Amino acid sequence: MKVAMISLHTSPLEQPGVGDAGGMNVYVINTARQLARRGVEVDIYTRATRPSQGQVVEVEENLRVINIVAGPYEGLAKEELPTQLAAFAGGVLEYVRCREPLTYDVIHSHYWLSGQVGWLLRDLWAAPLIHTAHTLAAVKNAHRSDEDTPESEARRICEQQLVDNADLLVVNTEEETRDLVAHYDADADVVEIIPPGADTELFTPGTDRNTELSRRQLGIPLHAKVVAFVGRLQEFKGPQVLLRAAAELFERDPHRNLRILLCGGVSGASSSDTTYRDLAAELGISRRVRFLGPRPPEELVHVYQAADIVAMPSYNESFGLVAVEAQATGTPVVAARAGGLSIAVADGETGLLVDTHDASDWADALAALLDDDARRSAMGEAAVGHAARFSWAGAAERLESVYERALSEELSGCHQRNAGG
């Protein structure tokens, strides 16, 4: 089987936490690696953002990343990428045409921009289109904070077209299926649920010595309590919620020995390089907050191991890969009861779920674990077993079965295009 994966707006080789790179990058590269190891040939098409990388990157046997020039290498925001859909699609077609007889059995697109290209290629190549949205405009708008910029109606229309036209839709959770049905009138019979995974060989529980070494490397006091946030610094991910909750905790007890780590890069139109530093200063907690740049996985594990708690105050998550990675290291998670986080975190067993984004509620939840060492330790131990339920190998095995289902269902030579949206 040969699969063309489309990941237009962000390369799976980019560092998660930088710009628009995040959980989707982790998902794409890890499922592709595992599919390749099962003997499936995978080509990932993405937009070239620097000439030094070359057109084709051989990642490992059966897996390549193909960089397609579409617009300038730098200076093009994600919001401007719809202007490059034709250029990108043309670049993919040119690459394939010049390498006959290169053909694909299946197309798997990730995110709505890629889906629009995948929809065109599906018609041209007569290959089934599997689409994974990762996030949805209607859901993001329903759950966004008051300060966050709403997603455009143009995006929602494009997503509706993909729901109407893709052969199969892959989601992470049952809740995503319900969202597709409720907001996009999807046929539940064409939706396949495949939970993502975590690299449990890399993200492993830390010993006391690991924790001590990690804290020394990060410059964190050994005897402080540490709450870490890992992800893109944007309103939708909720770092402002954590900062305000921390300020509430310090207001309750000015002598509390607590440090906050924010690990990630700024992303989104509503944030700048100083947004969260300025907020920490405004709240009077700058000396208690450390800003860490995005980390590759082999360094990110030390952030998880250094933390007593990982906080995920997102307004919505299709799943929440950070929660699984943190739990795999034995660190309990306090998360918003939003999207897939209610599956990624076992409430009361491996962490706590918070029903609101109110600073007082978050301060209460964090204090409940920070001030109860025995409970927090027990949750950390349970978290390792919970995280072990999610694996990339298992996700890839199920993805391959979805591809086989798509191939087994007869496709007509001409597709009925539902382009209304």
Q: Reduce the DSSP state of residue 269 to 3 states and report it.
A: coil
* Cα radius of gyration (the chain): 22
Task: Quote the DSSP letter at residue 421.
Answer: -
Tell whether residue 23 is among the known ligand binding residues: yes
DSSP per-residue letters across 111-137? SHHHHHHHHHHHHHHT--EEEE-SS-H
Residue among 391, 379, 277 at smallest CA distance from 331: 379
Q: Let me know: does 158 contact 136? Beta carbons within 8 Å.
A: no
Q: Reduce the DSSP state of residue 385 to 3 states and report it.
A: helix
Tokens representing 256 are 């509390």
Tell whether residue 304 is among the known ligand binding residues: yes
Tell whether residue 135 is among the known ligand binding residues: yes
Tell whether residue 166 is among the known ligand binding residues: no
* HSE, side-chain direction, 13 A CA sphere, residue 308: 24
Tell whether residue 307 is among the known ligand binding residues: yes
Tell whether residue 155 is among the known ligand binding residues: yes
Tell whether residue 325 is among the known ligand binding residues: yes
Tell whether residue 252 is among the known ligand binding residues: no
- Count each helix (H run) and each strand (E run) in the chain, helices first: 15, 14
Q: How far is CA 76 from CA 40, 47, 71, 81, 110, in A?
A: 33, 11, 8, 7, 19
Q: Reduce the DSSP state of residue 172 to 3 states and report it.
A: coil
Tell whether residue 22 is among the known ligand binding residues: yes
d(CA 247, CA 245): 5
Tell whether residue 104 is among the known ligand binding residues: no
Type of residue at 177: T
Tell whether residue 38 is among the known ligand binding residues: no
Tell whether residue 237 is among the known ligand binding residues: yes
Residues making up the binding site for Mg(2+): 304-305, 307, 331
Residues making up the binding site for UDP-N-acetyl-alpha-D-glucosamine: 15-16, 23, 232, 237, 295, 317, 325
Residues making up the binding site for 1D-myo-inositol 3-phosphate: 9, 20-25, 78, 111, 135, 155
Residues making up the binding site: 9, 15-16, 20-25, 78, 111, 135, 155, 232, 237, 295, 304-305, 307, 317, 325, 331
